Amino acid sequence: MTEERLIISRKTNNRFFMMIAIGVVLLIVGILFMALGGGDHHEVAGGHGEAAAVAHEPASWVKRLLMNLWLNNVYFTGIALCGVFFVAVQYVAYAGWSVLIKRIPEALSYFLPIGGAVMLLVFLFGNHDIFHWTHEYLYDIDDPRYDPIIAGKSGYLNFWFFLIRMVVYFALWILFFNWLRRQSINEDLYGGTSYYHKSIRISAMFLVVFGVTSSTAAWDWVLSIDTHWFSTMFGWYVFASWWVSSLAAVTLTVIILKQNGYLKMVNSNHLHDLGKFVFAFSIFWTYIWFSQFMLIWYANIPEESIYFIERLSGSHGKFTWIFFFNLLINFAFPFLVLMTRDAKRQMIMLKIVTIAILIGHWFDFYLMMMPGTMRGDAGLGFIEIGTALIFLGVFLVTFTKGLTKASLVPVNHPFLEESVHHHV
């Protein structure tokens, strides 16, 4: 079986850098608008006495920028992490169908070191803006702002333990990614089945690590933003959002590569399986979403239902449309479009749905984070679009570079023939 090498043209690379440049310009424009507009707002609010000034003081552009950096980094890091998860699941399941496309989820994970670096910096410089629980006064019993609920969580939610967990998560994820990737490349070079069997053992270990760290990372990076609120399903919920976004990214990449003359042996049967994955896990995400929503709404316990009230009708209804748009784009649209067998085998249908899912789950993370931090000052403007474009551009540069580092077809994989003749 001949290897297939991806060559990224200078034109394509320039497009990615242009995307980053446009993102930077939009971001600067957004910051200038906010810095100038925000100052006026502050003066008007200050005219009604000190209490009113505090109550109406708009969030600074710094806070909005930090929140957007955090939001995009958590989103893209999750997609990269689920690339390793995809590969590991295929190994442990002894799956043959996915061999022809496995280099794509592998390459997604090249973003992990960047994600780790950005997350560390944003947390070190912006922890007070993102996480309410990082304020010292909440733990001082003599301070009028003392919070007994947050103080009760101080064993887990404290600066240093949080930081250590973050470093450990990324260290483990990057270690396992590099370990699996090395086996994959060596298999190409030297052949034999020893690398395949070793990959299965590494994957089994990774899945245990992933099960624990993906949940605790979801609690740390997303759930702890709303410190008083809790949900026993939140780890699953964030995983479902990450996972279906990652599947959409893999499927979209397969289609784009095929349309550009690569992956010649990938056929409609492989697309059908990817389509089934996207279809099934869109429903799985909705199942978790509904279970969490229904149980909390039905129980009507104030400290639990506040989370949904804030997103449904809080901040003068600012998030209401996103709440319903979330369900429409992440469940109703993929469910209705991908329901038939034919739709899952057509590139155009899969392309439309996967792009919608990638946009939809960005909004899902927006809805998880912004109401708890920005509240009524949240928006969808130049800062949001600019930051998202910068991250997308950087992600695409690292991802495509990862794709070029090895043959798109794992030439010595023991199940390669099975994948070539895959039929469903």
Report residue 1's pLDDT band, with 50, 70 and 90 as the boundaries. low
Question: Which of 181-217 are b and which e, b meaning 16 or more Cβ less than 10 Å from the residue's Cβ?
Answer: bebbbbbbeeeeeebbebbeebbeebbeebeebbbbb
Report residue 316's pLDDT band, with 50, 70 and 90 as the boundaries. confident
In the chain, what's the furthest Cα-to-Cα distance? 77
Report residue 347's pLDDT band, with 50, 70 and 90 as the boundaries. very high
Report residue 313's pLDDT band, with 50, 70 and 90 as the boundaries. confident
pLDDT tens digits along 175-231: 999 999 999 999 999 988 999 999 999 999 999 999 999 999 999 999 999 999 988
**pTM for the complete prediction?**
0.93
Q: Which of 39-43, 75-79, 322-326, 350-354 has the lowest mean pLDDT?
A: 39-43
Q: Is the pLDDT of residue 112 over 80?
A: yes
Sign of CA dihedral 159, 164, 165, 167: positive
Alpha helices in 93-193 (DSSP H): 103-108, 112-130, 148-152, 159-190
Q: Is the pLDDT of residue 310 over 60?
A: yes
Start-to-end CA span in the chain (Å): 22
Q: Which residue has the higher pLDDT, 298 or 22?
A: 22
pLDDT tens digits along 241-289: 999 999 999 999 999 999 999 999 999 999 999 999 999 999 999 999 9
pLDDT tens digits along 39-80: 333 333 333 333 333 344 577 899 999 999 999 999 999 999
